[in-house]
Structure 1
């Protein structure tokens, strides 16, 4: 039963993505003269993404702590990463951030094209030149007032365990003196684990925006990084 439902769900996504993409192009064209940061396009993309959770009768998604995120001004948002579903679930924050995501996704028809249209940031893991380009692009975005969203683990956890955090997000926060917002993503790993495309039973997922961390309150990058990781780990543990 779940296998048949999964096939139907992915077919539904494949059919609707071109339609949503056409809408994204229209929004981008109409908003370009007065919205150079592409905030409206990102919000449209957020509705596009989250609709695939809203329309799934097996999944429930809640967001808490959203009000802590300032609507204006740069920030670094970091979240744990357990599933492909994390990406669409985090759009439910409805905040005008720019994604940092692996380059391969930017080649996916319609979805990847829309990511390029939004001005999200591509990264090829393990490629030093790509990392330097990603950091430089994030520098420009933060300087222009755009928040950025990253997965500091770098890739999805294979077993649900929170992995070691990489330095990039925290280097950016310290260099620009902007707050880091830890975000705990609950329940998505059970919805769609790293290996496999078969959807699971009823899932109650939650996005929990945690209090901001000020880089100036920590003596070095490692202190900020580990405090962020500890905040997310504590929130995940508290949820059981």
Structure 2
């Protein structure tokens, strides 16, 4: 069965995925250039992600949609197990959102330009002025239910266990006084870990936890948001 899945993903899945990626990037850039970045910055990527999971025959389960108010903007934070975290969240979270991304991802050919066109938030930590500009840009974007998705670990895990959280997402939530929604991703590490080359078939699961609302503003609130988020994400594995 493993041999058949390897043959399928190389001969069928990968070529389809590459075509889908090219079409999605071009559609996003063209749609955003023509005008409606709110629509074209989200839905092509959502469809691309859903089709990617279906093409590679990966079953997906999502729990916790009932915790989300569609008129509220949130900062969603999730553990970062592997490459398929992107497809799981983008395709199945069910919310119009922007990714918070490293500045270096702008340099990915075509994809980086599509992400820029879609209005994703690139974090530039080169100076306090750039950090301030990032916060003000996020404040303009995160309105009317548009949310933000961040991997607070900053990079994919090598072991399947969570890395320490960085403060960036929680600092932004504190500054903008937005609720934080922790999400637990399961199965992505088993499909394609950071050191992997070929996919393994495995179910994917996204657990959306209840929002954590800010209490005050400043370091105490920031640390509370970060600690509770980590605790809830870790608890999602036992569930």
Tell me, yes or no, whether TM beats 0.5.
yes
Question: What's 2:142 paired with?
Answer: 142
Structure 1 ranges of 4+ moved more than 4 A: 126-133
Asked if 2 retains the 8 angstrom alpha-carbon contact of 1:142 and 1:176, the reply is no
Asked if 2 retains the 8 angstrom alpha-carbon contact of 1:43 and 1:94, the reply is no
How far apart are 1:63 and its partner, in Å? 1.5
Asked if 2 retains the 8 angstrom alpha-carbon contact of 1:100 and 1:122, the reply is yes
Question: What's 2:193 paired with?
Answer: 193
Q: SS state of the match for residue 210, structure 2? A: coil
Q: For 1:152 and 1:207, how far apart are their aligned partners in 2?
A: 16
Q: For 1:106 and 1:6, how far apart are their aligned partners in 2?
A: 28
Question: What's 2:237 paired with?
Answer: 236
Question: What's 2:54 paired with?
Answer: 54
Out of 114-123 and 186-195, give the one that drifted further. Answer: 114-123
Unaligned runs of 5+ in 1: none
Note if 1:17 corresponds to 2:18: no
Count of matched residue positions in the alignment of Structure 1 and Structure 2: 231
Deviations 1:28-72 (A, max 9, x none): 355x2xx45x13530222111221002212x11121112322222
Asked if 2 retains the 8 angstrom alpha-carbon contact of 1:77 and 1:183, the reply is yes
Asked if 1 retains the 8 angstrom alpha-carbon contact of 2:40 and 2:118, the reply is no
Indicate how the Cα distance of structure 1 residues 128 and 191 shifts in structure 2: closer, same or farther if over 3 A, else same.
farther
Query: What RMSD in Å do the two structures reach over aligned CA positions?
Result: 2.5
* TM-score (ref. length: structure 1): 0.84
Q: SS state of the match for residue 181, structure 1? A: strand
Unaligned runs of 5+ in 2: none
Note if 1:153 corresponds to 2:157: no
Question: What's 2:203 paired with?
Answer: 204
